[in-house]
């Protein structure tokens, strides 16, 4: 007999779509775990909390005012019925006569020439005309139908807003408007009628504009002063789903829908794939339309994997300059999909399809941990001519209350078997005899694959796992 060692030494780097060919130090899957802030351990992530805010009707946008130049940690939520909420309190209901006019799709802030600052709310269109409403920054006074705009298409599904030194840029349908310091609304850039703007960002004096033309996305670079863009490039069969900006870099998802969504980095005129979808595979990470960014970390609404059918928020990035950026699942819900995101100085907010708003607080270490989570190893494969037997497993960890449940399986399609529930404070060794006794039979003899799952449950602190090493014996299989 020969001995094989299946070792999980570090838990950093990526989640992985292929359960077999996982690089060293990576893991196959995890849920509600944190592996970036403390590289020495795997632990539970921050708690995703229901804010308890009651929002009537469908949420169409959410904004943290301190990110658009308004002081105060206030979150504004708008709906498809013209309702405007400030930290969960209804402040205004716009009523402009038609349903499209009531759907608020974008929020921005601008400062007039008299140094008065206002918040602007852009609604959808009816027969090609849309409304822009206005309020004071404390949302105490509103002006209905403050300005009117017109686009070639009567359908608006989102408005991109950029504040650029006393000029408010509004991108929608096939146009970019500017609202200046005198509150004059100008049609500043008009693109072909058949194109619809799906994303806009600014870096220095240039704007990146991405439009969809049926199944083709068009990439423009515009200098803000000219009547036409200075660069145009088409990408066939990759319609834009969503995007977010981080200075000179843009992160975008492209594809026909979430089952075909790819994640790209767009720098200047070049795009680089971060993750390409496996096209409806059960192993694939599903990325949806909605992206946002906070402190260099990209947040992406998504769902499902080979391990979980929950709705997720993926994050892409890093905290330490010496580590590479990674794509991992950070927060999850079993009940409803995540849609809109926004971020304040110390918190992130996520609006869901059930019209609830959830939040996480970015404490390190967390003040509150997720109520449960897990990490799953790669599926270890021996040689096809060797059977494997379980010898023992060693687990290095720390507990201050809570528990670690050790599970194993010998096929991806089989259910997990619990071999040990750990509640004491010491490093643990699990022997073959102990495994047999705990299961009352011997399921882990003569197998060709082996996978480990560690379920974490907190008490006042998260369990911390440093290392998990499995010792396997192999036997020649003679046909």
What residues does each domain of the chain span? 2-46+374-476, 49-368
* Same-fold call for 2-46+374-476 versus 49-368: no
Tell me the three state secondary structure of residue 286.
strand
pLDDT along the chain (479 residues), means of 10: 62 78 83 88 93 88 86 86 93 81 89 93 86 94 93 82 91 95 94 94 95 93 92 92 95 86 92 86 80 95 82 92 87 89 92 92 90 90 79 88 91 87 82 70 72 93 89 72
Contact 443, 410 (CB under 8 A): yes
- The residue with tokens 């991405």 is 210
49-368: in CATH 2.130.10.10: yes
Whole-angstrom distance, CA of residue 190 vs CA of residue 83:
30
Q: Give me the pLDDT at residue 76, please.
A: 95
The strands making up 216-222's β-sheet, listed across from edge to edge, are 196-203, 206-213, 216-222, 231-235
Contact 412, 393 (CB under 8 A): no
Q: Give me the pLDDT at residue 218, please.
A: 96
Closest-CA residue to 472 (of 432, 437, 433, 427): 432
Q: Give me the pLDDT at residue 9, please.
A: 61
2-46+374-476: in CATH 2.60.40: no
Contact 303, 352 (CB under 8 A): no
**For the chain, how big is the Rg over CA atoms in Å?**
26
Q: What is the DSSP letter of 400?
A: S
First to last CA, the chain: 17
Q: Give me the pLDDT at residue 286, please.
A: 84
Q: Give me the pLDDT at residue 282, please.
A: 74
Q: Give me the pLDDT at residue 22, please.
A: 83
């Amino acid at each position: 007999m020969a001995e094989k060692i299946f070792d999980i030494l570090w838990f950093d780097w990526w989640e992985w779509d292929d359960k077999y060919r996982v690089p060293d130090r990576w893991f196959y899957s995890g849920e509600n775990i944190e592996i970036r802030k403390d590289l020495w351990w795997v632990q539970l992530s921050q708690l995703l909390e229901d804010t308890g805010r009651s929002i009537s009707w469908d949420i169409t946008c959410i904004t943290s005012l301190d990110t658009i130049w308004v002081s105060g940690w206030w979150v504004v939520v708008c709906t498809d019925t013209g309702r405007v909420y400030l930290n969960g309190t209804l402040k205004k209901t716009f009523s402009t006569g038609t349903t499209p006019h009531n759907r608020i799709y974008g929020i921005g802030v601008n400062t007039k020439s008299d140094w008065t600052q206002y918040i602007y709310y852009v609604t959808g269109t009816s027969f090609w005309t849309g409304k822009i409403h206005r309020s004071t920054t404390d949302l105490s006074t509103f002006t209905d139908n403050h300005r009117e705009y017109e686009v070639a298409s009567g359908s608006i599904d989102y408005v991109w807003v950029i504040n650029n030194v006393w000029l408010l840029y509004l991108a929608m349908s096939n146009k970019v408007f500017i609202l200046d310091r005198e509150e004059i609304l100008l049609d500043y850039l008009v693109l072909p009628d058949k194109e619809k703007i799906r994303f806009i960002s600014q870096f220095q004096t240039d704007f990146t504009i991405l439009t969809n033309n049926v199944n083709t996305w068009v990439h423009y670079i515009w200098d803000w002063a000219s009547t036409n863009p200075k660069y145009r490039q088409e990408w066939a069969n990759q319609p834009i789903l969503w995007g977010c900006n981080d200075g000179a870099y843009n992160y975008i998802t492209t594809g026909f829908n979430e089952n075909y969504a790819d994640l790209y980095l767009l720098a200047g005129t070049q795009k680089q794939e971060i993750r390409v979808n496996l096209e409806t595979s059960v192993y694939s990470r599903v990325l949806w339309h909605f992206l946002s960014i906070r402190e260099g970390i990209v947040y992406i609404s998504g769902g499902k994997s080979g391990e979980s059918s929950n709705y997720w928020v993926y994050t892409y990035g890093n905290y330490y300059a010496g580590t590479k950026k990674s794509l991992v699942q950070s927060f999850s819900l079993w009940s409803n999909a995540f849609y809109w995101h926004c971020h304040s100085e110390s918190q992130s907010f996520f609006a869901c399809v059930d019209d609830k708003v959830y939040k996480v607080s970015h404490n390190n270490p967390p003040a509150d941990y997720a109520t449960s989570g897990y990490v799953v190893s790669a599926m270890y494969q021996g040689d096809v001519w060797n059977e494997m037997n379980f010898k023992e497993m060693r687990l290095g960890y720390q507990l201050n209350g809570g528990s670690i449940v050790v599970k194993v399986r010998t096929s991806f399609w089989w259910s997990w078997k619990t071999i040990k529930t750990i509640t004491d404070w010491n490093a643990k060794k699990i022997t073959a005899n102990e495994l047999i006794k705990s299961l009352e039979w011997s399921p882990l003899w003569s197998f060709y694959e082996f996978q480990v799952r560690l379920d974490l449950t907190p008490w006042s602190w998260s369990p911390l796992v440093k290392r998990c090493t499995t010792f396997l014996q192999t036997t020649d299989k003679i046909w």
